[in-house]
Amino acid sequence: MHFRRAPAAATLAQWASEVDGLRARHTGDDLVAALKAWGTAQGIAYLGQGARRTVFDLGNGTVVKFPGHKRGAYNNQIEAAVWADAPPSVRRWLVPVLGTDSAGAWLLMPFVEAAAAGGTERDPHDVVFDYGMLQALARYGILDPTVFNVSVDGRMFDYGAVASFRLRALGL
């Protein structure tokens, strides 16, 4: 199933609760299998999970990020706040936030291909960054030089964890 537009907030909230329940009942490879099966049942594709969030492709050019625990919800809130607060000079280097739940239970972004995707062994840390990007993000305080989660077009798509320097300014 492909969604023409993002599911309603109530549906996303229900899905967030179901994903949270799967995380409570499963671990390791069993969790990945459960998440994949759940995504298939919903008509969405499991893309993967990081330390704090699980990502699904809605099939319409949009992904949804569900938190794995409270820190993941916090990362969703940070990404949404950074996107809302960022000036155009910084936004041009970020993948936009399309929608979110105020508690961080879900976050929508456009689907982008990761710089290390496609079966290559290229480490995203080896991506050559535009100097203007590095300057803009560093001045804005959201760049951690040890963490680069970038798309093939050079925009950051996972800036909820590296934006910690902006927390005080955003009141989070």
pLDDT in tens, 80-115: 988 898 888 888 888 999 999 999 999 999 998 876
The confidence score (pLDDT) of residue 38 equals: 96
Q: Is 133 left (phi over 0), alpha (psi -120 to 50) or beta?
A: alpha
Q: Which residue has the higher pLDDT, 53 or 172?
A: 53
Query: pTM for the complete prediction?
Result: 0.81
The confidence score (pLDDT) of residue 148 equals: 57
- Structural domains in the chain plus CATH codes: 9-170 (3.30.200.20)
Rounded to the nearest integer, the mean pLDDT of the chain is 79
Q: At what angle do helices 28-42 and 9-25 cross, to 10 degrees?
A: 150
Locate 99 and state its tokens. Answer: 């929608």
The confidence score (pLDDT) of residue 50 equals: 81
